[in-house]
Chain A
Amino acid sequence: AQSVAQPEDQVNVAEGNPLTVKCTYSVSGNPYLFWYVQYPNRGLQFLLKYITGDNLVKGSYGFEAEFNKSQTSFHLKKPSALVSDSALYFCAVRGDSGTYKYIFGTGTRLKVLA
Protein backbone atom coordinates (compact mmCIF):
# COMPACT_ATOMS: atom_id res chain seq x y z
CA ALA A 1 0.00 0.00 0.00
CA GLN A 2 1.14 3.51 -0.75
CA SER A 3 1.37 6.15 1.95
CA VAL A 4 2.86 9.55 2.55
CA ALA A 5 3.63 11.20 5.86
CA GLN A 6 4.10 14.88 6.44
CA PRO A 7 4.94 15.02 10.13
CA GLU A 8 4.51 18.78 10.60
CA ASP A 9 1.10 20.41 10.39
CA GLN A 10 2.74 23.82 10.28
CA VAL A 11 6.21 25.22 9.70
CA ASN A 12 7.07 28.78 10.65
CA VAL A 13 10.15 30.46 9.22
CA ALA A 14 11.42 34.02 9.08
CA GLU A 15 11.67 35.68 5.70
CA GLY A 16 15.13 35.20 4.21
CA ASN A 17 15.83 32.06 6.22
CA PRO A 18 16.05 28.61 4.67
CA LEU A 19 12.98 26.41 4.89
CA THR A 20 12.42 22.67 4.94
CA VAL A 21 9.11 20.86 4.69
CA LYS A 22 9.40 17.17 5.46
CA CYS A 23 7.93 14.19 3.64
CA THR A 24 8.44 10.46 3.96
CA TYR A 25 6.78 7.80 1.85
CA SER A 26 6.05 4.12 1.49
CA VAL A 27 5.36 2.56 -1.90
CA SER A 28 5.57 -0.67 -3.85
CA GLY A 29 8.18 -0.47 -6.55
CA ASN A 30 10.03 2.70 -7.42
CA PRO A 31 8.47 5.95 -6.26
CA TYR A 32 7.35 8.83 -8.39
CA LEU A 33 7.40 11.75 -5.94
CA PHE A 34 5.80 15.17 -6.21
CA TRP A 35 5.32 18.41 -4.36
CA TYR A 36 2.26 20.56 -4.87
CA VAL A 37 1.33 23.93 -3.39
CA GLN A 38 -2.16 25.20 -2.63
CA TYR A 39 -3.05 28.83 -2.13
CA PRO A 40 -6.37 29.75 -0.46
CA ASN A 41 -9.45 28.81 -2.50
CA ARG A 42 -7.32 27.43 -5.32
CA GLY A 43 -6.47 24.04 -6.76
CA LEU A 44 -3.14 22.34 -6.26
CA GLN A 45 -0.25 23.59 -8.35
CA PHE A 46 2.70 21.45 -9.35
CA LEU A 47 6.06 22.49 -7.87
CA LEU A 48 8.48 19.70 -8.72
CA LYS A 49 8.89 15.97 -9.09
CA TYR A 50 11.37 13.15 -8.80
CA ILE A 51 11.05 10.29 -11.25
CA THR A 52 14.59 9.10 -11.75
CA GLY A 53 18.11 10.47 -12.00
CA ASP A 54 19.62 13.19 -9.86
CA ASN A 55 18.50 13.01 -6.25
CA LEU A 56 18.28 16.79 -6.01
CA VAL A 57 15.50 18.17 -8.14
CA LYS A 58 14.77 21.80 -8.77
CA GLY A 59 11.32 23.21 -9.35
CA SER A 60 9.27 26.34 -9.56
CA TYR A 61 9.76 29.49 -7.48
CA GLY A 62 13.25 28.49 -6.29
CA PHE A 63 12.10 25.33 -4.53
CA GLU A 64 14.09 22.12 -4.59
CA ALA A 65 13.72 18.69 -3.05
CA GLU A 66 16.09 15.90 -2.21
CA PHE A 67 15.21 12.27 -2.78
CA ASN A 68 16.76 9.96 -0.20
CA LYS A 69 16.06 6.33 -0.97
CA SER A 70 17.52 4.88 2.21
CA GLN A 71 15.45 7.18 4.40
CA THR A 72 12.43 7.06 2.04
CA SER A 73 12.24 10.83 2.24
CA PHE A 74 11.61 13.66 -0.18
CA HIS A 75 11.97 16.90 1.77
CA LEU A 76 11.13 20.22 0.17
CA LYS A 77 13.63 23.03 0.60
CA LYS A 78 14.25 26.60 -0.30
CA PRO A 79 17.41 28.55 0.55
CA SER A 80 15.66 31.85 1.29
CA ALA A 81 11.97 32.01 2.16
CA LEU A 82 9.62 34.73 0.95
CA VAL A 83 6.41 35.88 2.61
CA SER A 84 4.65 34.95 -0.63
CA ASP A 85 5.72 31.32 -0.11
CA SER A 86 3.16 31.07 2.69
CA ALA A 87 0.71 28.38 1.58
CA LEU A 88 -0.28 24.74 2.08
CA TYR A 89 2.21 22.23 0.71
CA PHE A 90 1.42 18.65 -0.23
CA CYS A 91 3.77 15.78 -0.91
CA ALA A 92 2.45 13.00 -3.17
CA VAL A 93 3.64 9.60 -4.34
CA ARG A 94 2.76 7.13 -7.05
CA GLY A 95 4.38 3.71 -7.19
CA ASP A 96 5.50 2.37 -10.55
CA SER A 97 4.07 -1.09 -9.93
CA GLY A 98 0.99 -0.67 -12.09
CA THR A 99 -1.03 1.82 -10.09
CA TYR A 100 -2.40 5.06 -11.54
CA LYS A 101 -3.21 6.47 -8.13
CA TYR A 102 -1.40 9.38 -6.48
CA ILE A 103 -1.50 9.44 -2.70
CA PHE A 104 -1.17 12.79 -0.99
CA GLY A 105 0.11 13.61 2.45
CA THR A 106 -1.95 15.54 4.96
CA GLY A 107 -0.31 18.83 4.01
CA THR A 108 2.00 21.24 5.81
CA ARG A 109 1.06 24.84 6.25
CA LEU A 110 4.09 27.06 5.69
CA LYS A 111 4.01 30.45 7.30
CA VAL A 112 6.80 32.86 6.40
CA LEU A 113 7.05 35.75 8.82
CA ALA A 114 8.21 39.19 7.72
Chain B
Amino acid sequence: EPEVTQTPSHQVTQMGQEVILRCVPISNHLYFYWYRQILGQKVEFLVSFYNNEISEKSEIFDDQFSVERPDGSNFTLKIRSTKLEDSAMYFCASSIRLGPNEKLFFGSGTQLSVL
Protein backbone atom coordinates (compact mmCIF):
# COMPACT_ATOMS: atom_id res chain seq x y z
CA GLU B 1 0.00 0.00 0.00
CA PRO B 2 1.29 3.52 -0.73
CA GLU B 3 2.67 5.46 2.23
CA VAL B 4 2.93 8.97 3.55
CA THR B 5 6.56 9.61 4.50
CA GLN B 6 7.63 12.00 7.25
CA THR B 7 11.10 13.24 8.15
CA PRO B 8 12.74 13.46 10.55
CA SER B 9 11.27 10.89 12.89
CA HIS B 10 12.61 12.83 15.87
CA GLN B 11 13.53 16.49 16.18
CA VAL B 12 14.98 18.15 19.25
CA THR B 13 15.20 21.92 19.30
CA GLN B 14 15.73 24.80 21.65
CA MET B 15 12.86 27.09 22.57
CA GLY B 16 12.67 30.01 20.14
CA GLN B 17 14.26 28.13 17.27
CA GLU B 18 12.59 27.47 13.93
CA VAL B 19 11.78 23.94 12.86
CA ILE B 20 10.57 22.52 9.58
CA LEU B 21 8.78 19.20 9.53
CA ARG B 22 8.67 17.47 6.19
CA CYS B 23 6.14 15.20 4.59
CA VAL B 24 5.86 13.46 1.26
CA PRO B 25 2.17 12.66 0.72
CA ILE B 26 0.98 9.91 -1.57
CA SER B 27 1.64 11.06 -5.11
CA ASN B 28 -1.86 11.45 -6.55
CA HIS B 29 -3.45 12.80 -3.39
CA LEU B 30 -5.01 16.24 -3.40
CA TYR B 31 -5.91 17.00 0.22
CA PHE B 32 -3.23 17.44 2.85
CA TYR B 33 -3.35 17.78 6.60
CA TRP B 34 -1.24 18.30 9.69
CA TYR B 35 -2.35 16.94 13.04
CA ARG B 36 -0.55 16.74 16.34
CA GLN B 37 -0.78 14.41 19.31
CA ILE B 38 0.48 15.29 22.75
CA LEU B 39 1.67 12.50 25.03
CA GLY B 40 -0.06 9.81 22.99
CA GLN B 41 -3.46 11.26 23.69
CA LYS B 42 -5.85 13.42 21.70
CA VAL B 43 -5.23 13.90 17.98
CA GLU B 44 -5.64 17.63 17.28
CA PHE B 45 -6.33 19.19 13.90
CA LEU B 46 -3.90 21.89 12.86
CA VAL B 47 -4.49 22.69 9.21
CA SER B 48 -5.87 21.39 5.92
CA PHE B 49 -4.46 22.30 2.52
CA TYR B 50 -6.02 21.94 -0.90
CA ASN B 51 -5.35 23.46 -4.29
CA ASN B 52 -2.17 25.12 -3.04
CA GLU B 53 -3.80 27.01 -0.23
CA ILE B 54 -4.96 26.56 3.33
CA SER B 55 -8.59 25.45 3.38
CA GLU B 56 -9.05 25.41 7.14
CA LYS B 57 -6.95 25.95 10.24
CA SER B 58 -7.46 25.56 13.95
CA GLU B 59 -6.90 28.04 16.76
CA ILE B 60 -3.61 26.26 17.47
CA PHE B 61 -2.36 27.22 14.01
CA ASP B 62 -1.38 30.78 14.84
CA ASP B 63 1.09 33.12 13.13
CA GLN B 64 4.00 30.98 14.30
CA PHE B 65 2.87 28.15 12.03
CA SER B 66 2.96 27.97 8.26
CA VAL B 67 2.61 25.28 5.60
CA GLU B 68 3.98 25.02 2.11
CA ARG B 69 3.91 22.65 -0.81
CA PRO B 70 7.00 24.04 -2.51
CA ASP B 71 7.56 21.57 -5.32
CA GLY B 72 4.39 19.58 -5.86
CA SER B 73 5.54 16.64 -3.80
CA ASN B 74 6.76 17.80 -0.39
CA PHE B 75 4.41 19.29 2.18
CA THR B 76 6.09 21.12 5.04
CA LEU B 77 5.04 22.50 8.39
CA LYS B 78 7.17 25.33 9.76
CA ILE B 79 7.11 26.56 13.31
CA ARG B 80 8.94 29.90 13.40
CA SER B 81 9.71 30.26 17.08
CA THR B 82 9.08 27.09 19.01
CA LYS B 83 7.59 27.05 22.49
CA LEU B 84 7.78 24.34 25.12
CA GLU B 85 4.10 23.55 24.53
CA ASP B 86 4.79 22.76 20.87
CA SER B 87 6.37 19.50 22.01
CA ALA B 88 4.21 16.79 20.43
CA MET B 89 4.05 14.12 17.78
CA TYR B 90 3.17 15.78 14.47
CA PHE B 91 1.37 13.73 11.86
CA CYS B 92 0.98 14.50 8.20
CA ALA B 93 -1.97 12.97 6.38
CA SER B 94 -3.31 12.98 2.85
CA SER B 95 -6.41 11.93 0.96
CA ILE B 96 -7.00 11.47 -2.73
CA ARG B 97 -10.48 12.98 -2.62
CA LEU B 98 -13.41 13.80 -0.42
CA GLY B 99 -16.63 11.89 -0.91
CA PRO B 100 -17.61 8.25 -1.05
CA ASN B 101 -14.05 6.94 -1.37
CA GLU B 102 -12.35 9.31 1.03
CA LYS B 103 -9.82 7.98 3.47
CA LEU B 104 -6.98 9.65 5.31
CA PHE B 105 -3.54 8.09 5.09
CA PHE B 106 -1.20 9.06 7.93
CA GLY B 107 2.55 9.18 8.11
CA SER B 108 4.45 7.70 11.05
CA GLY B 109 4.94 11.12 12.59
CA THR B 110 7.72 13.43 13.75
CA GLN B 111 8.29 13.59 17.48
CA LEU B 112 9.19 17.20 18.25
CA SER B 113 10.83 17.96 21.58
CA VAL B 114 11.32 21.61 22.51
CA LEU B 115 13.80 22.18 25.34
* A→B interface (CB under 8 Å): 32, 34, 36, 41-46, 49, 51-52, 88, 90, 92, 94, 99-107
Tell me how far the C-beta of A66 lies from the nearest C-beta in chain B, rounded to whole angstroms: 19
Would you mind naming 11 contact pairs between A and B with Cβ atoms under 8 Å apart? A32-B102, A42-B109, A43-B109, A44-B43, A44-B93, A46-B103, A46-B104, A92-B104, A94-B102, A99-B56, A104-B44
Asked if B40 lies at the interface with its beta carbon under 8 angstroms from chain A, I say yes
- Residue in contact with A42 in the complex, picked from B33, B45, B108, CB distance below 8 Å: B108
Chain B contacts of A52 at CB under 8 A?
100
* Cβ-closest 10 pairs across A and B: A43-B106, A104-B43, A100-B48, A44-B106, A43-B108, A100-B55, A106-B42, A101-B56, A51-B100, A46-B103
Q: Known: A43-B108, A43-B109. Contact between A104 and B42, CB under 8 A?
A: yes
- On whether the beta carbons of B31 and A100 are closer than 8 Å, the reply is yes
Chain B contacts of A34 at CB under 8 A?
103-104
Q: Known: A88-B40, A100-B50, A101-B45. Contact between A51 and B102, CB under 8 A?
A: yes
Scoring B residues 38 to 70 as 1 if CB is less than 8 Å from chain A, else 0, what string do you get?
Answer: 001111110010100001100000000000000
Other A-B pairs beyond A34-B103, A44-B93, A106-B41, 5, CB < 8 Å: A42-B108, A94-B102, A100-B31, A104-B44, A105-B42
Which parts of B65-79 form the interface with A (CB within 8 Å)? none
- Residue in contact with A46 in the complex, picked from B56, B91, B105, B107, CB distance below 8 Å: B105
Scoring B residues 85 to 115 as 1 if CB is less than 8 Å from chain A, else 0, what string do you get?
Answer: 0000001010000111011111111000000
Tell me how far the C-beta of A53 lies from the nearest C-beta in chain B, rounded to whole angstroms: 9
Which parts of B15-45 form the interface with A (CB within 8 Å)? 31, 33, 35, 40-45
